[in-house]
């Protein structure tokens, strides 16, 4: 199994290639950030284009603000008291012996 090259090794190799290029008379041009060698953006078409023109988006910020306001109002309302869990109650006879178990909602 071959050893994978580390990032440091790749950087050293790129630096060596740049130095060889400059030593052989090559010239490095400084390009401003954001510039591209592609003319008129031909390579930057969206990958899922079906040929139709791009439609403008409908702004929804006012709708989202309304929804957020409703959420805040619903959170401010008092919440109903939580339902209490039913509990088991044992019914005893006159002599203290358990007769049966019943569930009570109190």
Q: What tokens were used for 17?
A: 């290639």
DSSP for 19-66, please give it. Answer: HHHHHTT--PPP--TT--SSGGGGGG--TT--SSPPPPPPP-HHHHHH
Phi then psi for 23, rounded to 5 degrees? -65, -35
Mean pLDDT value across residues 34-63:
75
Of the candidates 83, 84, 85, 88, the one whose C-alpha atom is nearest the C-alpha of residue 103 is 88
Is pTM, for the whole model, over 0.75?
no
Residue 100, pLDDT above cutoff 80: yes
């Amino acid at each position: 199994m071959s050893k994978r090259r580390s990032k440091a090794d790749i950087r050293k190799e790129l630096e060596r290639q740049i130095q060889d290029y400059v030593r052989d008379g090559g010239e490095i041009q400084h390009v401003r950030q954001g510039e591209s060698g592609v003319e008129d953006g031909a390579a930057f078409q969206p990958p899922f284009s079906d040929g139709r023109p791009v439609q403008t988006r409908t702004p929804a910020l006012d709708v989202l603000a309304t929804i957020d306001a409703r959420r805040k109002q619903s959170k401010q309302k008092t919440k109903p008291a939580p339902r209490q869990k039913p509990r088991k109650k044992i019914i005893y006879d006159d002599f203290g012996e358990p007769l049966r178990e019943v569930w009570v909602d109190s």
